[in-house]
Amino acid sequence: MSFIKVLILKFSSLRTQTMASSDKTINTDVPEKDVFAIHFLQSLSNLTTQNPFNSPDTTNYRARKIKKAAYVSMAKAAGGSSRLWSRALLGRAAKENNKIVRFARRKRKVTWKISSKRRSDQRAPEATDRLRNLVPGGGTMETSKLMEETAHYIKCLSMQVKVMQCLVDGLSPK
Amino acid sequence: MSSRRSSRSRQSGSSRISDDQISDLVTKLQHLIPELRRRRSDKVSASKVLQETCNYIRNLHREVDDLSDRLSELLASTDDNSAEAAIIRSLLNY
């Protein structure tokens, strides 16, 4: 109960949250749970204003909208364009809405991906490919980058799940 | 051989991939996954870690799906079962 109370106080005085940008060293810190919660609540309330929940939409349609809102808000909470997986997620979502998404150009060191990928993938090729399919944007990453992104993605996913579970518990009949 | 490696590092700069870095990341992943955290020993193979990671991610996706379904059902019903539910609904403009 207290978590929801704190959340309400923070949500009513919403300010844009800035996250520390991740530098080139391996950093897999994720924001606190309430950052995810605030983003999710905000996108949920946008959903309800667009399609009020008592309109005759099928439950399936609503659930899909909520699921999409969950992923988009998670990507935003996790830092938007500062992570490869969140960029890929937001780009994919925007493409579904036919929006043109422009991210600021980041200076990226050119790495010879072809030769380096083949060498480091020799260790566990199949599992790495499966991981690439699961992590957004994983198809073109180097293996070490993929691991880093996976760690961050897993942390953010579990945060998002916790937030959603809190909401469901709050709304469920006692 | 060494000249080839150094020429590669010159091109990739600070993001040179080393075996240590990869095994370090694999260990980090291992600590994140609940299944493997119990084992605690560092003798889990990299392929096992990757396999469990894939399973864990799939489970999390499934949980998000399931929770989205439940949320859509709960938000659609209009009865306020508790004060908390009423507050949440009002937060979401419903």
Contact B33 A144 (CB under 8 A): no
If pLDDT is split at 50, 70 and 90, which confidence band does A12 have? low
φ/ψ of residue A43, rounded to 5: -70, -30
- Candidate from B11, B54, B73 with C-beta closest to A112: B11
Residue B28 contacts A, CB cutoff 8 Å: yes
pLDDT at A24 over 50: no
- Candidate from A71, A120, A164 with C-beta closest to B67: A164
Residues 93-112 of A with CB under 8 A from B: 109-112
Which residue ranges make up each domain of chain B? 19-92
Containing A165, the helix (H) or strand (E) segment is: helix A143-171
Residue A22 contacts B, CB cutoff 8 Å: no
B15-64 pLDDT tens trace: 456 777 777 888 888 888 887 777 666 677 778 888 888 999 999 999 99
d(CA B90, CA B88): 5
A108-164 pLDDT tens trace: 555 444 444 455 445 556 778 888 889 988 888 888 888 888 989 999 999 999 999
CATH code of the region B19-92: 4.10.280
Contact yes or no for A111/B34 (Cβ under 8 A): no
Contact B71 A66 (CB under 8 A): yes
C-alpha A159 chain-centroid distance: 10
Comparing A156 with A80, the larger pLDDT belongs to A156
Instruction: Write down the pLDDT at residue A48.
Output: 75
DSSP letter at A82? G
- Candidate from B33, B67, B92 with C-beta closest to A48: B92
Residue B43 contacts A, CB cutoff 8 Å: no
Residue of B nearest to A64 (CA): B68
Comparing A97 with A1, the larger pLDDT belongs to A97
d(CA A60, CA A69): 14
Residue B46 contacts A, CB cutoff 8 Å: yes
User: CA of A73 to nearest chain B CA: how many angstroms apart?
Assistant: 13
